[in-house]
Amino acid sequence: MRLPNPFRLSEFRSRISRYDAIAAYALLGLISGALAGILVLGFFEAIQALGDLLGAGSVAEDFESLSGTHRFFLAVGGALAVAGVVSALPEPDRATGIKHVIYSLNHQYGQLSWRNGLVQAVSAVIGLASGQSGGREGPGVHIGASINSWLGQRLRLPNNSLRVLIACGTAGSIAAAFNTPLAGVIFAMEVILAEYTILGFIPVLVAAATAAAITQFAGNTEALFAAPNAHLQSLTELPWVILLGIVIGASAALLSVIAKGATYLLDKPVWIRFGAAGLVTGAIGVAIPEVMGMGSDSIALILAGQASIGFLLLLALAKIGATGFTAGVGMPVGTIAPSLLIGATIGGIIGQIGATLNPSVGAEHSLYAVLGMASCMGVLLNAPLAAILAAIELTRNIDAAMPAFLCVVASAITYSTVFRQSALHHALARAEEIAHESPLEQLLHRIHIASCWDLNFAWVKSDTQFDTLNLDPSVTWCVISRENEPVFVALKEDLIEALINNPNATPLEVDIRRFTVTLIDDTASAKRAWDELMRNMAEVALVYNARGRVHAGVWLKDVEAITHTHSK
């Protein structure tokens, strides 16, 4: 039975190749959000199951109940196990994390490898269950992005659609991880796509809502961190809020410096790098067990006001050191959860100091912890709005919004202007010599080649002579082929004139302008066409479909015209 046109896959591909296909992209958002939500929840369950098996409790956070020796060997053994998983794969399949998702989006046209996603899932489960200083949200983003990129590649969707699918997978992963759909949307737009467009928002909104619905269906309906009283008691607290932002910015800069320092080990074997991370985390964890793992239980303790200033200071310094080193050597765990814990500890310190020095104000300690969480996450990810929304959604407290704006601004200025640090994933990407895209290159990624391809061509065999040449009037250029393989391209007028003057000659024997060619499949974006043309020093890319049949051509001048139009 033949399906109606709107539901045929070929018709669907054609629809989503257009940049205004909102309904088609909304359907992609629904599917990708469901996939991301289900996989991320399964990923979390695997962490908890392995953590329980290793003695860290049913939520993989109870490292405090273990002996110091157990904690040390658990961290070191887990790090070496992660090294074993990663080293089993060839180098190209070892890359993980948010920076790899962004790199694949910009340099591999959204074509993430399923092997990368698999090694990310397995290694992150082992790493987090064994107490490595990291978070589950970064790996969750990679997993959600990978499964959706794989789906798009299997369906041969255009490259510009893969970008949207990856953003949907990211939003769905964050929404499922925290039960924060709005923060997931903004995170995907701020960090992954680094752009705001109507077409981008619609499917990402659908994906985040779908993933959040799956999370709530699984029973996760409560706020992850309870902070019902997190609000300003008086406007006289604002100087303390700004001070908190400054301290957060300086602390995040310290973490970034440690991470960049640790990147000098990147040229060492993975066993050495990850083993060193395990040793650092295990050694610190012997004295301060709260530094191990994701730290959700410690954040709850801080929000409840059950931690002293001395303990918070030690935990903040320990977490900064362990997380910075772990991230710098490339351990496949995330930095979002550690940034929340670091921010909460520093917020708890400033809040308690403020309450002690100015008791008449009656500062609420949980407010400063929430503001610290938002600020630290915001500066390390260069995602201030996503971080603010995450803090609001995590605590279900809108009263923290206004002071969060001031705190995040103060921390961002301190981090980027005073200490001249960039987003952590950008800094680590530069350490691995991963270049970033310009705005014009991002524009070409969003455009499918159908917007600039030329269909007015004809195939001409290399032994054709003038008396056998029969071209349709609509044809403007010709592909000269030999044994069904393209040799070069010529303009129709030039070819006809040359054969008229040399009636016994063939296209290979006449002196005409020959345009060099390369081949590209019909899922390509304009950016991919540009790269192929430049890489092969060609002037036209012949576009072939799934059956290998050439049906269009993309001229270098037409791709250049797109960049010239938008640069003006």
> Are the CB atoms for 510 and 496 separated by under 8 Å?
no
Residue 453 pLDDT > 80:
yes
Q: What is the pLDDT of residues 242-253, one digit of tens each?
A: 999 999 999 999
**Mean pLDDT of all residues in 190-212:** 86
Out of 189-198, 249-258, 290-299, 486-495, pick the least confident: 189-198
Over pLDDT 70: what percentage of the chain? 91
Q: What is the C-alpha radius of gyration for the chain, rounded to an integer number of angstroms?
A: 28
- Cβ neighbours of residue 242 closer than 8 Å, sequence gap 6 or more: 406, 407, 410
CATH (residue range 5-224): 1.10.3080.10
Query: Smallest Cα–Cα separation from 392: which of 202, 194, 228, 519?
Result: 228
**Mean pLDDT of all residues in 437-466:** 87
Residue 82 pLDDT > 80:
yes
> Exposed, middle or buried by CB within 10 Å (0-12, 13-18, 19+), for 293?
buried
Residue with the bigger pLDDT between 509 and 88: it is 509
Query: Smallest Cα–Cα separation from 530: which of 430, 437, 410?
Result: 437
> Exposed, middle or buried by CB within 10 Å (0-12, 13-18, 19+), for 183?
buried
Q: What is the pLDDT of residues 212-259, one digit of tens each?
A: 999 889 877 776 776 666 677 778 888 999 999 999 999 999 999 999
Show the 3-state SS of 275-344. HHHHHHHHHHHHHCHHHCCCCHHHHHHHHCCCCCHHHHHHHHHHHHHHHHHHHHCCCCCECHHHHHHHHH
**Mean pLDDT of all residues in 540-544:** 95
Q: Which two tokens stand for residue 553?
A: 């051509």
Q: What is the pLDDT of residues 476-514, one digit of tens each?
A: 999 999 988 999 999 999 999 999 999 899 999 999 999
Distance of CA 148 to the CA centre of its chain: 12
The widest CA-to-CA distance across the chain, in whole angstroms, is 102
Q: 5-224 with 444-567: one CATH topology?
A: no
- Cβ neighbours of residue 118 closer than 8 Å, sequence gap 6 or more: none
Give the pLDDT score at 324: 96
> Are the CB atoms for 91 and 9 separated by under 8 Å?
no
Q: Over the chain, what is the mean pLDDT?
A: 88
Residue 211 pLDDT > 70:
yes
Give the pLDDT score at 191: 87
Give the pLDDT score at 4: 37
- pLDDT band of 5, cuts 50, 70, 90: very low
Q: Which two tokens stand for residue 6?
A: 């709107």
Residue 342 CA: distances (Å) to CA of 249, 302, 336, 372 = 11, 11, 10, 8
Give the pLDDT score at 253: 97
- pLDDT band of 2, cuts 50, 70, 90: very low
Instruction: Give every strand in the sheet of 485-491, ordered side by side.
Output: 457-461, 477-482, 485-491
Residue 406 pLDDT > 70:
yes
> Exposed, middle or buried by CB within 10 Å (0-12, 13-18, 19+), for 43?
buried
Give the pLDDT score at 474: 92
Q: What is the pLDDT of residues 40-73, one digit of tens each?
A: 999 999 999 999 999 998 888 899 999 999 999 9
Q: What is the pLDDT of residues 24-37, one digit of tens each?
A: 888 889 999 999 99
Distance CA 350, CA 235 (A): 16
Give the pLDDT score at 493: 94
Out of 222-226, 262-266, 377-381, pick the least confident: 222-226
* 235-268+284-431: CATH superfamily: Clc chloride channel (1.10.3080.10)
Residue 345 pLDDT > 60:
yes
Give the pLDDT score at 524: 92
What's the fold here for domain 444-567? CBS-domain (3.10.580)
Give the pLDDT score at 3: 37
Domain limits of the chain? Answer: 5-224, 235-268+284-431, 444-567
Give the pLDDT score at 494: 94
